[in-house]
Structure 1
Amino acid sequence: MSEPVRLPFQQPGPMQPAPRLRRLQAQGPIHAIRTAVGDPAWLVTGYEQVRALLDDDRLGRAHREPDRASRTGESALFGGPLGDFDTEQADHRRMRSLLQPHFSPKRMRALRGRVETLAANLLDEMAAAGPPADLHAALALPLPIAVICELLGVPFEDRAQFRAWTQAAADITDRARSEQGLAELFSYGQQLVARKRAAGEVDADVISRLAATDGVSDDDAAAMGMTLLFAGHETTVTVIGNGALWLLTTPGQWAALVDDPSRIDAAVEEILRAPGLGGSGIPRYARIDLVIAGVHVREGDLVLLDTGAANHDVAVFADPDRFDLDRPPAPHLTFGHGARYCIGAPLARIELQAVFSQLVARFPTLKLGCAVEELTFNPNVLTGGLTALPVTW
């Protein structure tokens, strides 16, 4: 038997899928692989299997023997097991029940106007400065940070600090740096909660409301707040940049959205689905022995649920590697599924709708300011993403 393939898969270019991954997908929905640090794992790439397993209690983030568990990398957040094996499911239900009300449809609807205003202000500044511009620095980075700061009650002027800590925490190659970044972020959260308590803030923002909730300690409020701070901007920064890149470089797609702005919802869903070409996965550990698509998976095994590959499963998405605003609607798995579905999904959609509806209206002649081959991405952090996106108009 040949040695299992080792992650990461080699891509011919940043917008091209890894040929080896697509060959594996054609062979079946689950594959024995080695992670980037050489540990054994299973990579699940089939849409049907990934969707079902995302909501399967037989998989979890905790491990009975965490020191012996396979790791995906050196990130303190996602490199290895998290949580207490015996209480993981109850802990997760409690956390979701505490956070869900702060992301209710009513609260998100109330936030939409503010998100649109923040986006408009950033585009005003970009227009005033004139072409060329770096869309990453002008819009993709500052908007999600501004939005999550307002929602959580984090001072916007602290953004350089916490951005540095979240980038360090997301490092998948340097565990000491990742652990230090996470510790700095948590310490900052503790100080923020203490300041809000001292100021008597109760209903001003999410962190204040969490701190005022019965049964929630200050450390719990700090941990949940900083988790939201991290998750609430890192991924959206990446999606805005990648979405703009795919719209601008796929023939006809930018013009199609300019000509018919009512297609914004379809554009957002394709931006969420298509750029994540697959080749990694959401880490889970088997809590018991189980069978996945005929393959026996043992208790404790690392199972990577590759939502990106699932979003490019030819059984669900015709010509899946094509970026296409005319694609018939089908539910992608970018936000997960079931009990662990991302609670921030409505906020992310609001931000993407605000960004791209205004961008095409304000800059209909927008185009990429360099060759695709000149663009650089950050391969050392969880979310990857562009380091810059030069544009002109």
Structure 2
Amino acid sequence: MRTRMCRTTTPAGHDAWIVTDYDTVRDLLSDTRLGLTHKDPEQAARLSNSVIFGRPREPTPTDAQDHTRMRRLLGQRFSVRRLAAFEPRVRELVDGLLDELAAASKPADFHRIVSFPLPALVISDLLGVPFAHREQFRQWSDEAADMHDHARSTHGCTELEGYISDTVKQRLREPGDDLLSDLVAAHRAEPEGFTLEKVIGLGMTLLFAGHETTVTAIDTGAVLLATNPGQRAVLGEAEQLPDAVEEILRGSLPRANYFATPEPDDIGGALPRWANTDLEVGGVTIREGEMVLLGLAHANVDEKFVGDYQGFDVARHPNRHLTFGHGAHFCAGAPLARLELQILFAGVVRRFPGFSLAVPVEELEPRADLLTGGLKSIPVTW
């Protein structure tokens, strides 16, 4: 196995290692010698000035137990049975947004009408928080993900935390059939291990991650389908949709060009980790405390993984991309994201056969200041 890694500089101006080949990135995603904690977080290298994923946290004795509990709770809510029961609601939400798109004047902004509201609708339903507050979610999420303005990021996180805290207090008084109520019930069963602070922290993470990352994936899919009519035509067959969605997800990590090979030190789409001991990777010694960036975007276009053609191919199968991670930290919300994307893009292909960009793709403006990437607007016609 040929390991590819080099030194790079993060947006915060700190030194880090970046690993870019598929096999090594996949292996390190499961390596317990790397994690999200650091013995001295204030002195550690930072990815960015964002509070979200920008810096490590201090380890606690309950980290392993907390992770196991979180996986168990989310696994129950995102089980095949629960998602099958939730699917009609997702279809209803998708149909409503596509009705709005169809009624809009051309060109219409796909990001504003569809990409942003759909994940907000879905995660609001799932958590049990009012979708009427979606504009606040948008503002707070964008603030929290700001890579450069730490004060703005802190404000967004504080507001999200306060909002979830108020909702959790309501669920303590009046539980419902939603994910926050599930978390409150788990707190009641284990109040000392799963404190209210941990309930609020997990709820905040779910609200942010379940919304922001899916927005980016939808933006990616819209652009790829709008600019590849030949590939889009293949999706008339329903059995092709799962493969198409995996290919969209493979290209949905923040980067300048969806399927172009990034520069070796390009950190777009990279996950930050910190070494909790000295370790050797590809003949290089990484010292305890150093930052290691796992280049998911690089890995997803590695020739060993994709073969001779790294571009958009809705028939690519199998497609073991690393967008959702790998191993014990594989994204718990992946089944829900896949469900949203499959239902949405099936509807787009069916209802908008002439779906295309209304401007050259080069004119699309990325949300470059946000960790999650995505686009500011996507003018489309059909």
TM-score, normalised relative to structure 1: 0.89
Quote the Cα distance in structure 2 between the aligned partners of 1:75 and 1:177. Answer: 8
Residue in 2 that maps onto 1:117: 92
Q: C-alpha offsets along residues 290-337 of structure 1, whole Å, 9 cap, x if unaligned?
A: 111111111111000111110111011124541112323131111001
Quote the Cα distance in structure 2 between the aligned partners of 1:95 and 1:325. Answer: 33
Residue in 2 that maps onto 1:245: 223
Give the letter aligned to residue 388 of structure 1: S
Query: How far apart are 1:97 and its partner, in Å?
Result: 2.6
Secondary structure of 2:303's counterpart equals: coil
Secondary structure of 2:46's counterpart equals: coil
Give the letter aligned to residue 193 of structure 1: V
Matches within 5 A, 1:229-308: 229-250=207-228, 252-258=230-236, 260-276=237-253, 277=258, 279-280=266-267, 281-308=270-297
Residue in 2 that maps onto 1:153: 128
Given candidates 23, 27, 31, the residue that maps to 1:56 is 31
Query: How far apart are 1:344 and its partner, in Å?
Result: 0.2
Query: How far apart are 1:165 and its partner, in Å?
Result: 0.8
Q: Does structure 1 retain, via aligned residues, the 8 Å contact 2:303–2:310?
A: no
Are the structure 2 counterparts of residues 299 and 320 from structure 1 closer, same or farther at C-alpha, using a change threshold of 3 Å?
farther
Residue in 2 that maps onto 1:342: 331
Residue in 2 that maps onto 1:376: 365
1:312 aligns with 2:312: no
Q: Does structure 2 retain, via aligned residues, the 8 Å contact 1:63–1:85?
A: no
Residue in 1 that maps onto 2:180: 207
Q: Does structure 2 retain, via aligned residues, the 8 Å contact 1:64–1:85?
A: no
Q: Does structure 2 retain, via aligned residues, the 8 Å contact 1:274–1:321?
A: no
112-121 or 29-38: bigger deviation: 29-38
Residue in 2 that maps onto 1:182: 157
Q: Does structure 1 retain, via aligned residues, the 8 Å contact 2:12–2:148?
A: no
1:217 aligns with 2:195: yes
Query: How far apart are 1:129 and its partner, in Å?
Result: 2.8
Give the letter aligned to residue 336 of structure 1: G
Residue in 2 that maps onto 1:79: 54
Quote the Cα distance in structure 2 between the aligned partners of 1:62 and 1:346. Answer: 27
Q: C-alpha offsets along residues 351-393 of structure 1, whole Å, 9 cap, x if unaligned?
A: 0001100110001111111111221111111111111111111
Query: How far apart are 1:180 and its partner, in Å?
Result: 1.3
Give the letter aligned to residue 140 of structure 2: W
Q: Does structure 1 retain, via aligned residues, the 8 Å contact 2:216–2:375?
A: yes
Q: Does structure 1 retain, via aligned residues, the 8 Å contact 2:11–2:147?
A: no
Query: How far apart are 1:60 and its partner, in Å?
Result: 0.6
Quote the Cα distance in structure 1 between the aligned partners of 2:61 and 2:6. Answer: 28
Matches within 5 A, 1:63-74: 63-74=38-49
Secondary structure of 1:335's counterpart equals: coil
Query: How far apart are 1:261 and its partner, in Å?
Result: 3.9
Quote the Cα distance in structure 2 between the aligned partners of 1:29 and 1:85. Answer: 32
Residue in 2 that maps onto 1:359: 348
Quote the Cα distance in structure 1 between the aligned partners of 2:247 and 2:222. Answer: 11
Secondary structure of 2:305's counterpart equals: coil
Matches within 5 A, 1:188-203: 188-198=163-173, 200-201=174-175, 203=176
Give the letter aligned to residue 90 of structure 1: Q
Give the letter aligned to residue 337 of structure 1: H
Residue in 2 that maps onto 1:333: 322
Q: C-alpha offsets along residues 109-129 of structure 1, whole Å, 9 cap, x if unaligned?
A: 111111111101111122123
Query: How far apart are 1:256 and its partner, in Å?
Result: 2.5
TM-score, normalised relative to structure 2: 0.91
Residue in 2 that maps onto 1:12: none
Q: Does structure 1 retain, via aligned residues, the 8 Å contact 2:300–2:321?
A: yes
Give the letter aligned to residue 30 of structure 2: D
Give the letter aligned to residue 262 of structure 1: E
Secondary structure of 1:76's counterpart equals: coil
Quote the Cα distance in structure 2 between the aligned partners of 1:319 and 1:368. Answer: 28
Q: C-alpha offsets along residues 122-180 of structure 1, whole Å, 9 cap, x if unaligned?
A: 11122123532111111111111100000000101111112211111111001111111
* Unaligned runs of at least 5 residues, structure 1: 1-26
Q: C-alpha offsets along residues 48-81 of structure 1, whole Å, 9 cap, x if unaligned?
A: 0011111111111000111221111101111110
Residue in 2 that maps onto 1:10: none
Query: How far apart are 1:242 and its partner, in Å?
Result: 1.0
Are the structure 2 counterparts of residues 319 and 247 from structure 1 closer, same or farther at C-alpha, using a change threshold of 3 Å?
farther
Secondary structure of 2:7's counterpart equals: strand
Quote the Cα distance in structure 2 between the aligned partners of 1:183 and 1:352. Answer: 30
Quote the Cα distance in structure 2 between the aligned partners of 1:312 and 1:378. Answer: 22
Q: Does structure 1 retain, via aligned residues, the 8 Å contact 2:39–2:58?
A: no
Quote the Cα distance in structure 2 between the aligned partners of 1:184 and 1:245. Answer: 32
1:34 aligns with 2:9: yes
Quote the Cα distance in structure 1 between the aligned partners of 2:90 and 2:346. Answer: 12
Q: C-alpha offsets along residues 230-268 of structure 1, whole Å, 9 cap, x if unaligned?
A: 00010111111111101221352222224x343111110
Quote the Cα distance in structure 2 between the aligned partners of 1:127 and 1:268. Answer: 22
Query: How far apart are 1:275 and its partner, in Å?
Result: 4.1
* Unaligned runs of at least 5 residues, structure 2: none
Secondary structure of 1:71's counterpart equals: coil
Give the letter aligned to residue 31 of structure 1: C
